[in-house]
Structure 1
Amino acid sequence: MDRIPSPCPVNLIVNTPVQLAEILSSARQAKGLTQAEAAARIGVGQSRLSSLETTRTESLSLRQLLELTALYGLELSIRTKDGRDAANVDW
C-alpha cells in the first residue's frame, strides 16, 4: 500500500483486518513515528503494536483503534454502503 499523503484528505474503505493494518502502518510512518513511539503514546508495548500492524489487527481494541487514529491524524467515519451518512439514517 502507498503511504498516506499527510495534507491531502483521503477516504479509504476498510474491508479486511489486513487493509486496516496497512493503513495504520502507513499513517504512523507518514507522521514520522516509530512503532515504539506510537506504542508508548497509547500505552502498549512496541511488539504489540508491531503485531497489530502485521498479523493481529483483529485483536485491536476499539480504544486502541480510536487512540491510534487520533494520534495519526485520522478519524473514523461510519456510513451506509449506499453512501448516506450513518447519522442521517433512521435506525
Structure 2
Amino acid sequence: MQQVIATAAQMGHVLAAGRRRAGLTQAQAAARLGISQSRISTLERDSRALTLDQLLAMFGLYGLELLVDERLDRSPHEANEADW
C-alpha cells in the first residue's frame, strides 16, 4: 500500500487500514502499544493529536513505514506557515 497523506483525516484512514491489514482489532493493537482502545479509536477518527512517537510505534506494529518525498507540484521555498 502506498498512500499520499495531506490531511489528518487521511492519516486516520491509513492507520485504520494498516491495523486491519495487520489482522488486529483496536483492542489488540492498544494492548501491544500500551494505550487504551479508546485512544486507538480516537486517533483513527482524528489524528491531529497523534505524536510522532505514537505514529512510528503504530506503523511499526502494523508493518508500515514512513517515507518522505519531495512534492513535484511546487518548490520547497513556496511553503508557508499555514502549511504547518
TM-score calculated relative to the size of structure 1: 0.75
Structure with larger RCO (C-alpha < 8 A, sep 6+): 2
For 2:2 and 2:28, how far apart are their aligned partners in 1? 26
Aligned positions, number: 73
TM-score calculated relative to the size of structure 2: 0.81
Identity %: 43
Which runs of 5 or more residues in structure 2 are unaligned? 73-84
Question: Displaced runs of 4+ in structure 1, greater than 3 A?
Answer: none
Deviation sequence 1:34-59 (CA, Å, 0-9, x none): 101101111110001100011x3110
Alignment correspondent of 1:27: 18
1:75 aligned to 2:40?
no
* Larger relative helix fraction: 2
Root-mean-square deviation (CA), in Å?
1.3
